[in-house]
């Protein structure tokens, strides 16, 4: 049994700058929607599109965090440019030293 809940773990990662506040908020909002049975709208709107993009970015950030545990020379989170508007996965991977995503 885990001693840390998902929300506690994500809050810690946000505090350590592994994930952004927008990524945390996207997870939190979508988690609530899933729990109440209203995940998606039948129509695409910019606000909901941003939530899904932030959730995808959260997935990438969590992957980078997991890989940092096995990298013999990890890049501290403060030195990483977190995927945001205009930052491709390839550019983020190159910052970490992984070449292409």
Mean pLDDT by 10 residues, the chain (101 residues): 85 93 92 74 78 90 86 66 49 50 43
CB atoms within 10 A of CB 77: 16
Owner of token pair 């020379």: 73
Provide CB contacts within 8 A for 4, sequence distance 6+.
12
Residue 84 pLDDT: 47
Say what the alpha-carbon torsion angle 36, 5, 79, 63 is, to the nearest 10 degrees.
Answer: -70
- The model's pTM: 0.61
Name the H helices within 1-101: 6-15, 21-35, 46-68, 89-96
């Amino acid at each position: 049994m885990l001693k840390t809940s998902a929300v506690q773990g994500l809050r810690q990662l946000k505090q350590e700058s592994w994930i952004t506040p927008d990524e945390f908020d996207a997870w939190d909002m979508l988690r609530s929607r899933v729990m109440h049975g209203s995940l998606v709208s039948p129509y695409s709107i910019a606000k909901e599109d941003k939530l899904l993009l932030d959730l995808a970015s959260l997935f990438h950030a969590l992957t980078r965090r997991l890989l940092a545990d096995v990298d013999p020379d990890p890049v501290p989170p403060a030195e990483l440019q977190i995927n945001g508007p205009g930052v491709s996965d390839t550019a983020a991977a190159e910052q970490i030293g992984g070449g292409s995503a």
